[in-house]
Amino acid sequence: MRQPLPPASCNVYTPQLLADALVAALGDTATARWLEPCVGKGALLEAISRIGTEKNRIVGLDLAPLPEPSDRFGRVKRSTEFLSWAARTTSRFDRIIANPPYISLRVLPTQVRTAALLHRTPAGHPVPAGSNCWYAFLCASLRLLRPGGSIGFVLPASFEYARYALRLREELPELFSECRVHRCEVPIFDAVDEGAVVLLCRGFGDESTTITRGQHENLQGLVASLKSRRKSHHVTKATDSPSLLDHVMLRDVMNVGIGAVTGDSDYFLLSESQRLRHRLPKSVLRSVVSRARHLQCPTITRDIWADYLDSDERVWLFRPSDSDLDNPQVRAYLELEPEQGGCRRNAFKVRNRTPWWRTRLPARPHGFLSGMTQHGPLVCFNEKPLLTATNTLYTVRFADSIPKENRCAWALMLLTTSARKQIEAAQRKYALGLKKLEPGDLSSLQLPVPKLTVPRKAYLQAVKAVTDGDWVKASEIADAYIAKLE
């Protein structure tokens, strides 16, 4: 029977530099058997072969049916779904290395999801239905490991904080003689903004020790540490702790980007009175927020946005479709000369856009925030359909690994004492005392891990304290919801 293929979005390939370092860190012996459960393009297979491992000692699996050139380096089984295979195989391995799919079990084909739920942690805890494919891959792989064996996995940053992964995080230090988590301060994958970690565990079944964590400035520093097996000069922080984490980088839980760049805000942004004066239909406009004062609330609803509209704020974005061009009012507005209020078409962002009148929009935001730190940064959640922001504000999208009910908890962590100290140090000072945080500054913040049961009321109270100017109270509320990981 033909196996269902995973979505293309979960195909993120391992950089060869990292593949070589991870294989070198695991090491080889004359008789060691290797397993790569999700071969993909074969970067890890090639890396195993490069250290001199014979083809007959390497087993590779992949759901995709078409062979890749790298298949020649091992005994590769295509059209093979790993989770089902792992549940029935009697094979065992000394080295298991993988960059598994990062995709929620809920959106997997039924057959694959059913196979994932067959697996358990070594202590017998089932894979939660609301967890992720990588978690099932890791649980299944541990079942296939021989005594004394080692694993090397490239995992999403949610490994360190996802609640569904708590059981396995607690069990891992008891399973291996050495267990280390490597974290890079910048994204490992070029095409993915979210962070990743490298999990390296050796000596399966041997006397356990405490888990350690290394944080590195860049991929090169992480690679150097993997190869050396000791703290390299690139490591900026390493801790021995029974818990894996007390902070995570903001970029791992939410993506912060600029809003829509119009290139000529005087032309593209309109108030309701301007819309009526030009007789533009609402169908050619998009609702937006465009000023920091629009975000002095925990959520933006239809009613709140309507209040801005009634106050004649500029909360319309002119963005006609091709089918709107036959409308005489739309055509008249497009043909206005700059001195009559028309668009400055020679502006850089306008002239480099095709068509010039269609501003590119960010992905649908879960929320907004302002880089101006007088009332923030705090996340103002988006509860109005099709609402977006212009580039005077930032948009927020939470990582797929953060359920909607937990977004409030992570937003609250921006108001903790720990986050506020970092914000104070990171903010950039401009003329007239203006202070601002760029998206990169925000993305690099280290957020405490929250208790994921944060009532909405607590977030509302904290935001009200911020807008009232009482940062002490806001931080006290937020600090009360930091998770105790000891």
The pLDDT tens digits of the residues spanning 144-166 come to: 999 999 999 999 888 887 878 88
Final residue of a structural domain among 214, 245, 276: 245
CA–CA dist 155, 100 (Å, integer):
7
Q: Is 2 domain-assigned?
A: no
| 238 and 327 belong to one structural domain | no
| 147 and 108 belong to one structural domain | yes
E strand map for 353-480: 367-369, 380-382, 388-389, 394-398, 428-429, 435-436, 446-448
**pLDDT for residue 50:** 95
**Could you tell me the CATH number of the domain that includes residue 71?**
3.40.50.150
| 234 and 268 belong to one structural domain | no
**pLDDT for residue 127:** 94
Tokens of 51: 């250290």
| 72 and 196 belong to one structural domain | yes
Give the tens place of pLDDT for each residue, 233-292. Answer: 333 333 333 344 578 889 889 999 999 999 999 999 999 999 999 999 999 999 999 999
Mean per-residue pLDDT, 431-445: 78
Q: Is 1 domain-assigned?
A: no
Residue 437 lies in domain: 254-479
| 34 and 180 belong to one structural domain | yes
| 148 and 191 belong to one structural domain | yes
Q: What percent of the chain has pLDDT over 70?
A: 90
Q: Is 485 domain-assigned?
A: no
Q: Is 290 domain-assigned?
A: yes
**pLDDT for residue 364:** 93
| 117 and 33 belong to one structural domain | yes
How far does Cα 40 stand from its chain's mean position? 21
Final residue of a structural domain among 245, 268, 296: 245
DSSP string over 151-185: EEEEEEGGGGT-GGGHHHHHHHHHHEEEEEEEEES
More confident residue, 275 or 171: 275
pLDDT-derived band at 218, boundaries 50, 70, 90 = confident
pLDDT-derived band at 300, boundaries 50, 70, 90 = very high
Tokens of 13: 């390939």
| Buried/exposed 438-461: b ≥16 CB within 10 Å, e otherwise | ebebbbbbbbbbbebebeeebbeb
CA–CA dist 262, 349 (Å, integer):
7
Minimum mean pLDDT range among 14-18, 360-364, 400-404: 400-404
Lateral strand order in the sheet of 235-240: 75-77, 58-61, 34-36, 93-98, 145-156, 196-204, 176-184, 212-216, 235-240
| 298 and 407 belong to one structural domain | yes
Final residue of a structural domain among 179, 213, 245: 245
Q: Are 367 and 379 in contact (CB under 8 A)?
A: yes
Q: Are 79 and 65 in contact (CB under 8 A)?
A: yes
Give the tens place of pLDDT for each residue, 37-54. Answer: 999 999 999 999 999 999
Q: Is 484 domain-assigned?
A: no
**pLDDT for residue 244:** 42
Q: Is 439 domain-assigned?
A: yes
| Helix, strand, coil % over all residues of the chain, rounded to 5 | 40, 20, 40
Give the tens place of pLDDT for each residue, 126-139. Answer: 999 989 999 999 99
Give the tens place of pLDDT for each residue, 187-197. Answer: 787 655 567 88
**Residue at 440: amino acid letter:** G
**pLDDT for residue 485:** 58
More confident residue, 185 or 470: 470
Q: Is 183 domain-assigned?
A: yes
| 231 and 266 belong to one structural domain | no
| 234 and 315 belong to one structural domain | no
DSSP string over 188-203: SSTT--S-EEEEEEEE
Peptide bond into 7 cis (omega under 30): no
Q: Are 429 and 435 in contact (CB under 8 A)?
A: yes
pLDDT-derived band at 348, boundaries 50, 70, 90 = confident
| 127 and 212 belong to one structural domain | yes
Instruction: Indicate the number of domains in the chain.
Output: 2
Mean per-residue pLDDT, 409-424: 93
Q: Is 391 domain-assigned?
A: yes
| 154 and 277 belong to one structural domain | no
Terminal alpha carbon distance of the chain: 48
